[in-house]
Amino acid sequence: MLYKRSNQLFVEANEVIPGGVNSPVRAFKAVGGTPIFVKEAKGAYLYDEDGNKYIDYINSWGPMILGHAYEPVVSAVIEKAKKGTSFGTPTELETKIAALAVSMVPNIDKIRFVSSGTEACMSAIRLARGFTKREKIIKFSGCYHGHSDSFLIAAGSGASTFGVPNSPGVTAGTAKDTLLAKYNDIDNVKQLFEANKGEIAALIIEPVAGNMGCIPPKKDFLKQLREVCSENGALLVFDEVMTGFRLARGGAQELYQVKADIVCFGKVIGGGLPVGAFAARNEIMNYLSPLGPVYQAGTLSGNPLAMAAGYEMLKALQEDQEIFKRLEDKTAYLEKGIRKVLQDNQVVFTINRVGSMISVHFDANPVYDFETAKNGDNDHFKKFFHDLLAKGIYIAPSAYETWFITDALTYEDLDYTIQVIQEVTAK
C-alpha cells in the first residue's frame, strides 16, 4: 500500500500540532511508522487520503457500534445543524435522551451530560467525594478513566499505598488521594480499605477493562467489590465509557447483575459526537449543582448536535432486539477463527473477549491484570499490526487496546480478516 499523502500530511501536522495528533495513541508511537490520515468512512470501512481501504476494528475507539456514517445519526445531525448548533439554554432533546438512557440502564434515576468520558469520570469522582465527605479514591492499575489529574496516577513503590503522579504536571498532593489496586485481586482491595478506614470516598473501575487489552472481571469480582464498598460506606463507580451500551443495553451492570452507585458513559452514548455522561440514583444526583452543593457545568454540555447523534444511537440500540446477540455472534465467530489459525500456525497467544470487545495477546499465560498484560511479546505485536495494516485491516496501534466489533462488519469481512491472520502468522 502507498501512504504517500498520509506521510506528507503527518509532516505538515507535526509543524503545528504536538506530535501531529490531538490524542497521543493516534501517533503510532507504540508500533512505529506513520499514522494513516483518514478521509472518510462508511459502515465497516475506513478510506485513507491515499485511497486505501481498511476494515476497521477500532471504530473511533468504540463509538461506531453500528458502523461509520450510520444514516439515522447523520440525518439527525444535519437536520439539527440547520436549526442552530448551540444555544446555552435547555432543549427538549436533552430530556428525551436522558429519559431514554435512564430507561435503558439499571439503577439510575438521573443523568447529566458532559462532552467527554474524561469529564464524566472527573465529575463522578467529585460528586462521590462531595456526597461521602471523604477524599481518597481507589482505582486499578491499567484502568483508564480519562486524563484528569486524579487518574493519571501510577502505583507507588514498595510498601507505599499512595499513588505517584504518572505525568509531570500532576501534583503529589493530588496523587496522595488516589490509591492503586490490582485488577481482579479482591484481597488487595480489602487491604487498601483496611489501611484507609473511613477515608475512601469511591472505588472506580472499568467493569470489563478495555485499556490494557480486554480483561474480563473474574467470577464474582464485581460482586465482591460491591460488598466491600457497601461495608465501608464508599461509592462504587462503574466507568462504563467503553462498556456502556456496548455489552448490553444496560452495560456491565446488566451483564453482571451488579449495582453501581455512579455510572460513567462516553463513546457509544454520543454516536460519534463528543458526549460523556454520568448517572446515579436521585439521592446522589440531587447533590449536584444547581440542586446541591457539588459544582459541575459545561458551555457545550447537552449540545444539540451531540444530543441528536446520541439519541438516534441509543434509540437504534433500544429498538433492535437482536443487536447485542448479533455483535456477540460476530465477535465469537472472529475469536474462533483467529484461535484456530494461531493454533495451526503454532503462535503463542491468549485471546480475551467479552461480547464485542476482544484482544489478542502474544503470550501463552492468562492475562487478567496490568502486570500480566505487560508480559505480551510487543515486537510480535508491532509486526502483526503492520502486516494487517498492509492487507487493509486496521486494528488499534497498541498492544494494550481492545478491538471493537461493529454490527456493520459482514461475515465476509470476518473471513477475510481470519484468512489474513492465517497468512501473516504462517511460519
Ligand X SMILES: *Cc1c(COP(=O)(O)O)cnc(C)c1O
Number of residues that bind ligand X (CB under 6 A): 15
Backbone angles phi, psi at 278, to 5 degrees: -135, 150
| Among the listed residues 76, 155, 236, 241, the single contact to ligand X using CB under 6 A | 241
- Cell numbers given for 212: 490494557
Specify the residue for cell string 467470577.
Answer: 219
Of 49-57, 141-149, 287-295, 338-346, the window that binds ligand X (rule: CB under 6 A) is 141-149
- Cell numbers given for 99: 429519559
Q: In the complex with ligand X, which residue's Cβ is closer, 52 or 331?
A: 331
Q: Is 287 a catalytic residue?
A: no
Q: How far is the CB of 125 from ligand X (least distance, A)?
A: 12
| Among the listed residues 35, 142, 146, 397, the single contact to ligand X using CB under 6 A | 146
Which helix or strand (DSSP H or E) is residue 284 part of?
helix 282-285
Q: In the complex with ligand X, which residue's Cβ is closer, 277 or 421?
A: 277
Beta bridge partners of 136: 200
Q: Is 295 a catalytic residue?
A: no
Applying CB under 6 A, does 206 fall inside the site for ligand X?
yes
What distance in Å separates the CA atoms of residue 185 and residue 182, rounded to the nearest whole number?
A: 6
Candidates 56, 239, 261, 363; catalytic one: 239
| Among the listed residues 179, 242, 273, 305, the single contact to ligand X using CB under 6 A | 242
- Give helix 221-232 / helix 186-195 axis angle, nearest 10°: 10
What distance in Å separates the CA atoms of residue 397 and residue 419, rounded to the nearest whole number?
A: 20
Applying CB under 6 A, does 63 fall inside the site for ligand X?
no
Q: In the complex with ligand X, which residue's Cβ is closer, 67 or 117?
A: 117
Q: How far is the CB of 277 from ligand X (least distance, A)?
A: 11
Site for ligand X in 69-128 (CB under 6 A): 116-118, 121
Instruction: Give me the DSSP letters along 372-405.
Output: HHTTS-HHHHHHHHHHHHHTTEE--SSTT--EE-
Backbone angles phi, psi at 182, to 5 degrees: -90, 130
Select the residue whose beta carbon is closest to ligand X and give its number. 117
Q: How far is the CB of 141 from ligand X (least distance, A)?
A: 14
Q: Is 109 a catalytic residue?
A: no
What distance in Å separates the CA atoms of residue 9 and residue 49, rounded to the nearest whole number?
A: 9
What distance in Å separates the CA atoms of residue 201 and residue 24, rounded to the nearest whole number?
A: 31
| Among the listed residues 211, 352, 372, 425, the single contact to ligand X using CB under 6 A | 211
Strand ranges in 335-421 using DSSP code E only, listed in sequence order:
350-354, 357-361, 393-394, 403-404
Q: In the complex with ligand X, which residue's Cβ is closer, 254 or 377?
A: 254
Applying CB under 6 A, does 398 fall inside the site for ligand X?
no
Q: How far is the CB of 1 from ligand X (least distance, A)?
A: 28
Candidates 267, 315, 330, 382; catalytic one: 267
Strand ranges in 60-190 using DSSP code E only, listed in sequence order:
110-114, 136-140, 153-155, 163-165, 178-181
Strand ranges in 192-280 using DSSP code E only, listed in sequence order:
200-205, 235-239, 262-265, 276-280
Q: Which residues are catalytic?
A: 144, 239, 267
Interaction site with ligand X (CB under 6 A)? 116-118, 121, 144-146, 206, 210-211, 239, 241-242, 266, 276
